[in-house]
């Protein structure tokens, strides 16, 4: 519930700043405490007096109050916040947040904040479409910030296009949903596999794949913020969960991953199989570095790896839920449904490598989710964190 929550509202210098008065009213009426931080330019569009009258708190804009020398701690503000909302977010502030240019109180607080950040961009259509703005928004998404997309409509310039700040009630509903969803996985134990497996050939070589683990870790973070007790059994990746409530067990090979999953799955309510598990492993491990021979080219014999998802599917008990992933290049729907059945899954998430922005290494993904009855839900291209929200919402809906 939004009641009693601490909201830091960052207002930047765009014409849509006038709409934040209504947004503050909605937050305050719902029982939230709002602290407004304004950039210097924002004060040209709406006065701090309006905002402090509506919030009941002095607006913070400078690093200190000039006549008293009172210091405003951006660190304290960042820690006080349960959520930070930047609305309207101008092209300039978006660029500063993306690149850490901490030259005003708002950006400094943003960089210090441990709270989730929601950003509602607003600007003229050409600024919005400029590659630099697009890139900066993508960078913010990759930090886990959530973008409340601007609408298409008439802009202050009287041009019509994408760039209108989302309406105050839409921003309010997004934040309200976030707080109402927070505890909907409380008490649930979740097992997630993520990242690649490495299958050793000799002490210096392995068979692996390009998986970075980003999707699985995003799901783990989303589930943990919604109250689940999450364990990731992870292949070798260079990322960490952002949430403190996620336990990570690192493994290398498919067999090691299977062994950990078999220990954990019987105690889990939900299993999400996100790992890119190698299908084959070398038949034998050579315990010295294989040398380059003059004539002979070595042959590496392979044997099938266990299918972790299928083995958990086979031991699934009533009340447990198992979700798998299918990364396909052709016959996508057919292959996904076939895997769902063969592995006894409840859901399968399909990514197609034919969709740009989907698959390994990207910060975005485009998915469809199939259930056991063959129902398919398609989602647009989103950040992996937003995709994680859709995946968890689908599980909750059951
Ligand atoms: O059969 P395929 O590898 O395409 O199936 C993908 C799904 O099965 C993913 O959820 C993946 O994590 C899981 N899987 C597994 N163990 C394997 C192969 C795939 O858990 N050996």
Q: What is the pTM of this model?
A: 0.70
CA of 339 to the centre of ligand 1 (A): 9
Which residue minimizes the CA distance to atom 13 of ligand 1?
Answer: 309
d(CA 359, CA 209): 12
Let me know: does 217 contact 241? Beta carbons within 8 Å: yes
d(CA 280, CA 363): 28
CA of 327 to the centre of ligand 1 (A): 9
Cβ of 324 less than 6 Å from ligand 1: yes
Q: Which of 254, 257, 273, 314 to mutate to test the pocket of ligand 1 (most atoms within 8 A of CB)?
A: 273
Q: Which of 254, 272, 277, 342 to mutate to test the pocket of ligand 1 (most atoms within 8 A of CB)?
A: 277
CA of 343 to the centre of ligand 1 (A): 9
pLDDT for the residue 378 = 94
pLDDT for the residue 75 = 72
Which residue minimizes the CA distance to atom 5 of ligand 1?
Answer: 326
Cβ of 213 less than 6 Å from ligand 1: no
**Residues pairing with 142 in the sheet:** none
Let me know: does 16 contact 184? Beta carbons within 8 Å: no
Cβ of 275 less than 6 Å from ligand 1: yes
Which residue minimizes the CA distance to atom 4 of ligand 1?
Answer: 326
Q: Are strands 367-371 and 347-352 parallel, antiparallel or unpaired?
A: antiparallel
Let me know: does 52 contact 26? Beta carbons within 8 Å: no
Which residue minimizes the CA distance to atom 2 of ligand 1?
Answer: 326
d(CA 285, CA 282): 7
List, by residue number, the catalytic residues: 209
pLDDT for the residue 63 = 76
d(CA 180, CA 188): 17
For CA atoms 316, 321, 327, 333, the dihedral sign is positive
pLDDT for the residue 181 = 72
Which pLDDT tens digit goes with each residue over 20-71? Answer: 999 999 999 999 999 999 999 999 999 999 999 999 999 998 877 767 777 7
Domains and CATH numbers, the chain: 6-181 (3.40.50.1950), 189-397 (3.40.50.10300)
Q: Is 157 helix (H, G, I), strand (E, B) or coil?
A: coil
pLDDT for the residue 398 = 84
Cβ of 339 less than 6 Å from ligand 1: yes
d(CA 379, CA 267): 31
Tokens of 73: 């701690």
CA of 325 to the centre of ligand 1 (A): 7
pLDDT for the residue 52 = 96
Residues of the chain with pLDDT under 70: 66, 74, 182, 244, 294, 357, 359, 361
pLDDT for the residue 66 = 66
Per-residue burial over 47-64, b if 16 or more Cβ lie within 10 Å, else e, is ebeebeebbeeebbbeee
Which pLDDT tens digit goes with each residue over 165-209? Answer: 999 999 999 999 888 776 789 999 999 999 999 999 999 999 999
């Amino acid at each position: 519930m939004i009641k009693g929550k601490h909201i830091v509202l960052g207002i930047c210098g765009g014409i849509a700043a006038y709409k934040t008065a209504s947004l503050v009213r909605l937050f305050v009426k719902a029982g939230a405490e709002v602290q407004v931080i304004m950039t210097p330019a924002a004060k040209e569009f709406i006065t701090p007096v309006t905002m402090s009258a509506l919030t009941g708190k002095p607006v913070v804009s400078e690093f200190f109050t000039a006549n008293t020398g009172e210091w405003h701690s951006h660190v304290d503000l960042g820690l006080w916040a349960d959520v930070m909302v930047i609305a309207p977010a101008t092209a300039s502030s978006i660029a500063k947040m993306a690149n850490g240019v901490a030259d005003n109180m708002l950006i400094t607080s943003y960089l210090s904040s441990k709270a989730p950040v929601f950003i509602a961009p607003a600007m003229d259509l050409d600024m919005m479409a400029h590659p630099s703005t697009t890139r900066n928004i993508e960078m913010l998404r990759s930090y886990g910030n959530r973008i409340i997309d601007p609408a298409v409509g008439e802009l202050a310039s009287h041009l019509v296009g994408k760039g209108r700040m989302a309406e105050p009630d839409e921003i309010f509903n997004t934040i309200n949903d976030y707080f109402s969803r927070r505890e909907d996985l409380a008490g649930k134990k979740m097992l997630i596999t993520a990242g690649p497996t490495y299958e050793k050939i000799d002490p210096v070589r392995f068979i692996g794949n390009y998986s970075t683990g980003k999707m699985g870790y995003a799901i783990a973070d989303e589930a943990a913020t919604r109250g689940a007790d999450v364990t990731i059994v992870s292949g070798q990746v260079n990322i960490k969960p952002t949430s403190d409530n996620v336990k990570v067990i690192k493994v290398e090979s498919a067999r090691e991953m299977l062994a950990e999953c078999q220990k954990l799955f019987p105690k889990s309510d939900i299993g999400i199989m996100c790992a890119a598990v190698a299908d084959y492993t070398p038949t034998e491990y050579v315990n010295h570095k294989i040398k380059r021979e003059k004539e002979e080219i070595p042959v590496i014999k392979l044997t099938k790896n266990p299918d972790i998802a299928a083995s958990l599917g086979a031991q699934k008990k009533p009340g447990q839920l198992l979700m798998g992933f299918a990364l396909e290049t052709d016959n996508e729907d057919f292959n996904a449904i076939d895997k769902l059945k063969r592995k006894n899954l409840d859901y399968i998430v399909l990514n197609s490598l034919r969709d740009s922005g989907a698959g390994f290494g990207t910060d975005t993904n485009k998915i469809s989710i199939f259930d056991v009855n063959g129902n398919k839900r398609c989602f647009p291209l989103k950040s992996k964190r937003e995709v994680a929200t859709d995946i968890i919402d689908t599980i909750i809906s059951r």
